[in-house]
Amino acid sequence: ACLMASPALVADCIDAMKQAVDIPVTVKTRIGIDEQDSYQFLLDFVGPIAEKGCRTFIIHARKAWLNGLSPAENRTIPPLKWETAYRLKQDFPQLEIILNGGIKTTAQINDALQHLDGVMVGREAYQNPYFLAQVERDVFGTTDVRSRHGVVDALMPYVEKNLQNGTPLKDISRHILGLFQGMGGARRWRQILSSEAYKPAAGMDVIRAALAAVDDGGS
């Protein structure tokens, strides 16, 4: 985030990167740093970079305090200002502006998409991965999304293949600990996976046992 104080340097870096690669070069930024949190400060950052041909900006719509807050605190304490990203899209309609920060519902996504080009979801996708299925249904309009149990069934061949290759079960299971968030038995699912999957010989049975402990709620 400290690079927000050096827009000319960032613009030069983006220019050099664009010349070196043939994939899009994008910029992800906060909306301000420390006391420098005016809208003009953000404009002065985005403007020179856009002039170098960067088309896509992902806006984590809160400022960062460079001193005094940990990285984790800097993801929760500075207030979210989604409207700043909306305003940026109005001022740079030719740019692709993507909103990031605190998005937890598909209604929020659909609302944001009225104002700008896309959203980036971080923690919600990790803590509650079934959110991505809800996005598939509510944002992309897919009607036949898998149930949570269906997701695990579909994951099983991948688990089997990777166990055979020597990957410890915990390296896979840790990413699905939150899959049943909000459903009956979610705690048990999490408990079984987080205790049993860490044992050296842990195999597919651990996932099957955890799966047997949770309702699918018909979803």
| Chain residues in the site for ligand FMN (CB under 6 A) | 28, 60, 75, 100-103, 121-124
DSSP conformation class of 49: H
Q: Which is nearer to ligand FMN, 58 or 159 (CB)?
A: 58
Q: How many CB atoms lie within 10 A of CB 21?
A: 9
Q: In a 3-state reduction of DSSP, which class is residue 84? A: helix
Taking the complex as a whole, the smallest distance from the CB of residue 74 to ligand FMN amounts, in Å, to 9
Q: Which is nearer to ligand FMN, 117 or 216 (CB)?
A: 117
Which of 123, 175 has the CB closer to ligand FMN?
Answer: 123
Distances from the Cα of 147 to the Cα of 140, 144, 210, angstroms: 16, 9, 16
Nearer to ligand FMN, 76 or 195 (CB): 76
> Minimal distance in Å, beta carbon 205 to ligand FMN?
30
Query: CB of 30: closest distance to ligand FMN in angstroms?
Result: 9
Do 57 and 98 touch, CB atoms closer than 8 A? yes
CA atoms within 13 A on the CB side of 57: 31
Report the alpha-carbon distance of residue 120 to residue 126 in Å, rounded. 12
Would you say 193 and 206 are in contact if contact means Cβ atoms under 8 Å apart?
A: yes
| Shortest-Cβ-distance residue relative to ligand FMN | 122
CB of 155 to ligand FMN, least distance (A): 22
Give, as one character, the DSSP assignment of residue 33. Answer: B
Nearer to ligand FMN, 73 or 153 (CB): 73
Residue 135 Cβ vs ligand FMN, minimum distance, rounded to whole Å: 12
How far is it, in rounded angstroms, from Cα 44 to Cα 59?
A: 14
